[in-house]
Chain A
């Protein structure tokens, strides 16, 4: 089974990975871990110094790279093979496009990501992915 796990470096996505690995949900599957990097802060560019924009882009890319490295480390601990990838753009859109590209049989994600308000059940990205996904979605919650 081809499984897509979108992650963003948040505790929720880390928890989703660890809990899925612990429960053996990923063993023997073709797992793709994916990070969407926020796109250039276009539109705001006209009043932001280009150096600042470049700096922001660099730090987004660095964060994505670190997140994927960390994911590889976690998978290695559980002896599960993983493919990692990333793309730039709107998170939900990139995740859905990547799912299309690999024809994912299942998307596994945490219920909350970075920058989400804690009161709602699903973060905006998870919520959009769940409603628009063309496959089944497994939601793994935190702190249980």
Chain B
């Protein structure tokens, strides 16, 4: 069974993975991580020099791979975890990738980056929940 986990370097995304591992949600699952860095230097190149654009792209790629490495570090080192990095709209890329790998479900934590304090789900999570063609698992640490 394939599970897609979007990660953004936030503590919420990290906590979702830690909880899922503790509570057995990822046992015998094929885990795919995705991180999306929003925005692109393209289109601004009319007034940015090629060097600057390249610097931005490099910095984005570095940030993306750091986020993926950090998330992979939460798993057993012997476990095969795949990770992809994309630049662009987060929800769109996550949904697109879920379709590509035919994910059985997408797993997300509550409140990723950029949400209002009072909201359970961030804007990206809401968009994913709205448009996902597979079930969506909202991880919450068990609290009985």
Name which residue of chain B comes closest to A103, CB basis: B144
Complex Cα gap A131–B110 (Å): 10
Which residues of chain A are within 8 angstroms of B62 by Cβ–Cβ distance?
Answer: none
17 new A-B contacts, CB < 8 A, other than A106-B25, A122-B129, A139-B138, are A23-B104, A25-B135, A105-B142, A111-B129, A121-B126, A121-B130, A134-B140, A136-B25, A136-B138, A136-B139, A136-B140, A138-B135, A138-B137, A138-B138, A139-B136, A140-B135, A141-B135
Q: How far is the CB of A65 from chain B (nearest CB, A)?
A: 28
B135 CB to nearest chain A CB (Å): 4
Which residues in B have their C-beta under 8 angstroms from that of A133?
140
The 10 residue pairs across chains A and B that have the minimum distance between CB atoms? A134-B143, A144-B133, A140-B135, A138-B137, A137-B138, A136-B139, A139-B136, A131-B120, A103-B144, A135-B142
B134 within 8 A of A: yes
Q: Is B132 an interface residue (CB 8 A)?
A: yes
Q: Which B90-120 residues sit within 8 Å CB-CB of chain A?
A: 104-105, 120
20 contacts between A and B (CB under 8 A): A1-B24, A23-B135, A24-B1, A25-B135, A105-B142, A106-B25, A121-B129, A131-B120, A133-B140, A134-B143, A135-B140, A135-B142, A135-B144, A136-B20, A136-B139, A136-B140, A137-B137, A138-B135, A139-B138, A144-B133
Q: In the complex, A133→B143 CA distance in Å?
A: 9
B interface, by DSSP: helix, strand, loop or mixed? loop
Q: Which B residues are CB-close (under 8 A) to A23?
A: 1, 104-105, 135
Least CB distance, A18 to chain B, in whole angstroms: 12
Which residue of chain B is the closest to A108 with respect to CB atoms?
A: B135
Chain B: interface residue count, which band? 20 to 34
**Is B23 among interface residues, defined by CB-CB distance under 8 A?**
yes
Closest to A1 in B: B24
What is the CA–CA distance of A141 and B138 in the complex, to the nearest angstrom?
A: 13
Within the complex, which residue of B20, B104, B132, B138 is in contact with A130, where a contact is CB–CB below 8 Å?
A: B138
Interface flag for A100 (CB, 8 Å): yes
Q: How far does the Cβ of A107 sit from chain B's closest Cβ, in whole Å?
A: 10
Q: Is the CB of A100 within 8 A of B144?
A: yes
Residues of B within 8 Å of A137, CB to CB, are 137-138, 140
CB distance from A29 to the nearest CB of B (A): 11
CB distance from A53 to the nearest CB of B (A): 36
Within 8 Å of chain B (Cβ to Cβ): is A124? no
Q: Are A134 and B129 in contact, with the CB atoms below 8 A? A: no
Q: Shortest CB–CB separation between residue B123 and chain A, in angstroms?
A: 12
